[in-house]
Each structure stands twice: as structure tokens, then as C-alpha cells.
Amino acid sequence: MKKLLISTLALAATAAFAYPDKPVTMVVPFAAGGPTDKVARDLAVAMGAVLKQTVIVENVGGAGGTLGATKVAKASPDGYTVLLHHIGMATSPGLYRNLPFKTLDDFEYLGMVNDVPMTLIGRPTLPANNYAELVKWLEANKGKVNLANAGLGAASHLCGLLFQQSIKIDMTTVPYKGTGPAMTDLLGGQVDIMCDQTTNTTSQIAGGKVKAYAVTTTKPLTTAALSGLPTLDSQGLKGFNVSIWHGLYAPKGTPAAVAKTLNDALRVALKDADFIKKQEALGAVVVTDARLAPADHKKFVAAEIDKWGPAIKAAGQYAD
Ligand code: ASP
């Protein structure tokens, strides 16, 4: 009997140690082909190599990222479902009155991935060729301008909201399940402008496929394709500073050993030369600081909730 118990315990220990013994699903709360998806697909490859398992990216877009986040919050806490999300983790609590999860309580924080600036872009046929001309065009077309975003809670929503407030011009927002499909419509001229991460806009700007007006961080960017793009801050919107981050999360209750395996794999993946090169080419900066530690990343997200909450409240935007 004693022998049986010992071997059962040993088996259980081996099973825990064997994690992951099947593919891990990385949920992206936005449509395929967009900026979050791009980060996730590269990260999935880099982490999969470390974990020696396939990491499958699953796109669960809708409601500004809250559908995908809800799916992971309610998934089995076994380490086989993780969430790759962004600043929406911190803006959605201020935007949704009935968020189906508690951002700080319902996840194991696994660590931060990168910081990504945003850019303000326009459809290729938009007559404005620089930011000053864009502002004139927006003023002349008040009530007719369509601003694409990825729904309430998305990074594009936050950036677009702050932009509208700053220039005091309201636009009609057109929500998509992600800025991947929004970009398709922008290229086709169905929508006018959009704020989006450089991980989605760099190649379109470099290829001259969209009009590029500004970068949303206070510092200009250094990537070749975007280095000449002026900041909003330097073009009259003093202090305008929106930078997006991505982090990795598992459902609350994921065993500590499994969470540690995932954090260890994340740390190794973020040192992967190929991953770093791909991220840098798209304007993203891979995290190397303390926010790689789950506890520090959680503190950072809590501070971000406090930072963005008042601005969102002041804008009077919310959903059920
Ligand atoms: N860029 C989108 C956003 O606005 C998300 C995405 O499609 O990846 O948050």
C-alpha cells in the first residue's frame, strides 16, 4: 500500500515535471493579421522552441479584446491556455461596467513582453500629406470622418479617443475585431484614419501604402522606416504620449511550477536573437527590465489602470 502511494506520488511529480506534454494555446484577443497577432505569432515560435512544444495562436477577437481575455480567465488553469494581451488589460476596467473578469484577481501574471509605439495613419487617398494638413482636413470635414479601431478597450480606441479629445474634433468610430481587418478597409478607403501599433503599420508606411502623420510617443522612433516621422507632441499636441505594451497571462490557479516554467520560457524567448530582430524591425522594444517578473508586471498593470482610468472616465466612454 505504502509502495503504491509512493509510486503514485512519483508519477504525479513526473507528470507535473513533464509540463507541457501537449500543445499550448496562446489566445490573442484580436483578429489575425493585426499587430497583437504578429507579436503573438513570433513569440509562440520562440517560446515553443524553449518549451519543446507547439504553441498554437488562437484569435478570439471582439469587444476590444475583452472576449478573448474572458475566455482565458475562465479556461482550465492547467497551463495549456495563456493570453497574450496589451494595454487593454488596463483600460478595459475603466470602460466596461460589467467586465466578466477581474483584471488583477483572475489571472496569473506571467510577465511583460514588449513596449510598442503607435502611429497615426490615413487612407492612401486622403488628401492631407502631413499632420498640419490632416488637422485642416479634419476640421473641414467635421461630422464626416471615420476613425477605425479595434473596439472599446483596444489600444487603437485609447489612442483615437485621446487624439479626438486633444484636437477637440469628434469622429465616427468604426470598430473591428482587430486592426488587421481595419487596415484592409483603410487601404481600401472605406475608413479615413486610424491609430495603430508600429507592429502593424511599419511595412505599410515603408511601402507608401498609407499616409503616415505622426508617432504617438514623445520620442521619435529609430527604426529606419519610421525615423523621419514626427511626434504628435512636437506638432502641437504637447505631452501626447501613448505607448502600448504586451504581457502574458494564465488563468488564476495555474500551478506555481507551471507558471514558473512559462515565465522561464518567456525570459529565454525574449533573448532569442531572431525574435528581437523581428520585433525591433517593427518598432517594438523587447522588455529586459524588472517587468519580466510576474509580480512586477502585475504592479505595472495596476499602475496603468490607475493612470488611464481617470482619462477614460473624463471622456465619459463606457459599455456594459
Ligand atoms: N491594434 C489593435 C488594438 O487596437 C489590436 C490588434 O488588432 O492587434 O488594440
The reply to whether ligand 1 has any atom less than 6 angstroms from the CB of 92 is no
Cβ atoms of 87 and 97 closer than 8 Å: no
Question: 279 and 137 share a domain?
Answer: no
Residues 145-164 have pLDDT tens digits of 999 999 999 999 999 999 99
The three cell numbers locating residue 59:
484569435
- How far is Cα 82 from Cα 156, in angstroms, rounded to an integer? 23
Task: Name the closest-CA residue to atom 4, ligand 1.
Answer: 156
Tell me the average pLDDT of the chain: 93
Q: Which residues pair with 285 in a beta bridge?
A: 115
Examine the domain organization and report whether 255 and 112 are in the same domain: yes
CATH number at residue 281: 3.40.190.150
**d(C-alpha 120, C-alpha 223), whole Å:** 16
- Residue 112 belongs to a domain: yes
CB 226 within 8 A of CB 238: no
pTM over 0.85: yes
Cα-to-centroid distance, 14 and ligand 1 (Å) = 40
50 and 130, same domain (yes or no): no
Instruction: Using the mean position of ligand 1's atoms as its centre, give its distance from the Cα of residue 110 in Å.
Output: 21
16 occurs within a structural domain: yes
Identify the domain containing residue 218 by its residue range.
Answer: 117-235
Does the C-beta of 199 come closer than 6 Å to ligand 1? no
Atom of ligand 1 nearest to the CA of 149: 4
Centre of ligand 1 to C-alpha 99, Å, is 19
199 CA → ligand 1 middle, Å = 10
Residue 229 lies in a domain: yes
Mean of the pLDDT values across residues 82-104? 95
φ, ψ for residue 89, nearest 5 deg: -55, -35
Q: For ligand 1, what atom is nearest to the CA of residue 35? A: 8
The stretch 180-189 carries a mean pLDDT of 98
Q: Is any atom of ligand 1 closer than 6 Å to the C-beta of 179?
A: yes
CATH number of the domain within which 213 lies: 3.40.190.10
Q: Is 205's pLDDT higher than 60?
A: yes
Whether 320 is in a domain gets the answer no
Distance of CA 272 from the midpoint of ligand 1 (Å): 24
221 and 289 together in one domain: no
Number of domains in the chain: 2
In the reported structure, the alpha carbon of residue 18 is separated from the centroid of ligand 1 by a whole-number distance in angstroms of: 35
Which CA distances in Å does 276 have to 38, 54, 268, 273, 288? 13, 20, 11, 5, 11
- Per-residue pLDDT, averaged over 57-77, amounts to 97
Q: Report which protein residue has its CA nearest ligand 1's atom 7.
A: 178
Q: Which of 208, 235, 262 is the last residue of a domain?
A: 235
254-309, pLDDT tens digit by residue?
999 999 999 999 999 999 999 999 999 999 999 999 899 999 999 999 999 999 98
**How much is the average pLDDT of 187-211?**
97
What share of the chain in percent tops pLDDT 90? 87
pLDDT in tens, 212-252: 999 999 999 988 889 989 999 999 999 999 999 999 999 99
Q: Is the CB of 279 under 6 A from ligand 1?
A: no
Residue 15 has pLDDT above 80, yes or no: no
Q: How far apart are CA 35 and CA 42, in angstroms?
A: 11
Q: Are residues 123 and 231 in the same domain?
A: yes
Distance CA 184, CA 168 (A): 27
Q: Are 155 and 118 in contact (CB under 8 A)?
A: yes
For ligand 1, atom 8, name the residue with the nearest CA. Answer: 36
| pLDDT value, residue 312 | 85
User: Is residue 311 domain-resident?
Assistant: yes
Which one of 235, 264, 288 terminates a domain?
A: 235
Nearest ligand 1 atom to the CA of 88 is 9
Rounded to the nearest angstrom, the distance between the alpha carbon of 152 and the centre of ligand 1 is 11
Total H helices, total E strands in the chain: 11, 10
> Do residues 146 and 214 share a domain?
yes
Domain boundary among 202, 235, 268: 235
Q: Are residues 127 and 230 in the same domain?
A: yes
45 and 148 together in one domain:
no
CB atoms within 10 A of CB 237: 18
